[in-house]
A and B are shown apart, each in its own frame.
Chain A
Amino acid sequence: MSFVSRGFKGRSRDKPRDARVPPGQYVVHDFPVLSAGPTPQPSLDTWTFSIEGEVDETKRWTWAEMRALPSETVTRDIHCVTKWSKLDTTWEGVSVDTLLAGVETAADYVMAFCDGGYTTNLPLEDLTGGKAWIAFAFDGEPLESQHGGPARLLVPHLYFWKSAKWVRGLRLMNEDSPGFWETYGYHMYGDPWLEQRYSGD
């Protein structure tokens, strides 16, 4: 690294860098909010979650049906592309594996879609095998709407824009296709350990 910012010291580095913090990230203790538009306020009476697209049969759950499914409590680190990471966040939700059980598909990709029009694309294999949840509680409390409540996708091993707030379903796709931020130049995959922030990273 040849470039040096004259006079820049940075935070104390007496402690070794935490191996849980990906490159270019710093740790926060609050929970910043980022979104592109107003916070949707969907009614739980009409809320549904769908798995659709390249599937033999669309599956749909009401809020009550979703909450009746077995849920898991998981503690994970999360990493936002805007550089903050938050360690040991605790969530409760339904594993995407549970929702996909019995779904017949040959699709390799997924578009998560949401209230408010937000979308984000992911490989299907990043949502299966105990890696992703539909989360409805954070820190033991119902998920606040500004953090994506009533339910958000939780995919903690990818940058957090992939963990779509206000998620309403997964559309299975044979080909990868950019979602909302991906269309504006953000990375199609978004691995924080490879610093895949933007297209071409």
Chain B
Amino acid sequence: MVGTALQRRLIWRTAEVVDLVDETPRVRSLVLAVPGWPGHQAGQHVDVRLTADDGYQTQRSYSIASPQSTDERLTLTIERLDDGEVSPYLARELHAGDQLELRGPIGGYFVWAPALGGPLLLIAGGSGSCPLMAMLRLRQAAGSTVPARLLYSSRSLDEVIYRSELARLVAAGSGLEVMLTLTRAQPPGWTGLHRRIDTEMLQSVAWSPAERPWIFICGPTPLVETAASALVDLGHEPARIKTERFGPTGG
């Protein structure tokens, strides 16, 4: 668990919303132009700060869904929690041209780059796919052929974020496989997985421990706990299993 020193001061920056993408009925991506953005690694996050006209402020953290680019832009993917204080504003109220304060990048442990190699095993639950998508987008943009698998648990097909883009990435033939498991509702004729992630599923999807995959797991705590513990039990090194969690308090 040794990291590289990152001791840059994180200043608040004013971003402008340049595009909005409705990913699913409850999930929207914000494409932001961030003048002076210093760049980031795939898997890092930002803090967003909202200020009401009476000066009241609140902050939340969101993973960055886009890979590093040269145009000072980044994408956040927001799941709307109806009783949340921040996500309904970000996912419904904001429109193109609005401004948003943020700072980052934050983190540096839950990150992947092609130089780290693989195989690369990504396990997502719900909107936990967001930082993992940054890794897959980076892998594609860099022309990496590191073998990669994404096991993505979603309640239904309609709630799979980045669905068409994932299909395109698989079709590009660079060695990415995507396995969906739909836990609540399956479309007619669905022949894929349809239960919560468990040991048997992980055993069939994960490479053998001898192949030493890098494993990134992001989702709600029960999914992360189950998947990480099962992978340890299957013989994978704990130090190669990296986790990020979110819960309903993400608001």
Contact = CB atoms under 8 A, between A and B. Distances in A.
Interface in B175-197: none
Contacts, number: 134
Contact of A8 (B61, B93, B225): B93
Given A37-B238, A117-B1, A26 B89 contact: no
Range, interface on chain B: 35 or more
B116 interface: no
Interface in A166-189: 178, 180-181, 183-185
Mostly, the B contact residues are mixed
A201 B229 CA distance: 35
A37 B245 CA distance: 10
Contact of B221 (A11, A146, A180, A201): A146
A118 B108 CA distance: 14
B247 A8 contact: no
B85 A10 contact: yes
A7 interface: yes
A183 B3 contact: yes
Range, interface on chain A: 35 or more
Nearest to A7: B93
A116 B232 CA distance: 12
A11 B54 CA distance: 12
A13 B242 contact: no
Given A26-B85, A32-B247, A117-B239, A8 B108 contact: no
B51 A3 contact: yes
Contacts of B93: 7-8
Given A3-B14, A184-B3, A10 B238 contact: no
A200 B10 contact: yes
A194 to B, nearest CB: 15
Contacts of B47: 197
Contacts of B89: 5, 7-8
Contacts of A24: 49, 57-59
Interface of B: 1-10, 14, 47, 49-61, 85, 89, 93-94, 98-101, 106-110, 221, 225, 228-229, 231-232, 238-239, 241-243, 245, 247-249, 251
29 contacts: A1-B55, A3-B99, A5-B98, A5-B99, A5-B100, A5-B101, A8-B52, A8-B93, A10-B50, A11-B58, A24-B49, A26-B58, A33-B221, A33-B225, A35-B245, A37-B241, A38-B228, A38-B229, A38-B238, A40-B238, A83-B58, A84-B249, A116-B238, A180-B1, A183-B3, A184-B3, A185-B8, A199-B6, A199-B9
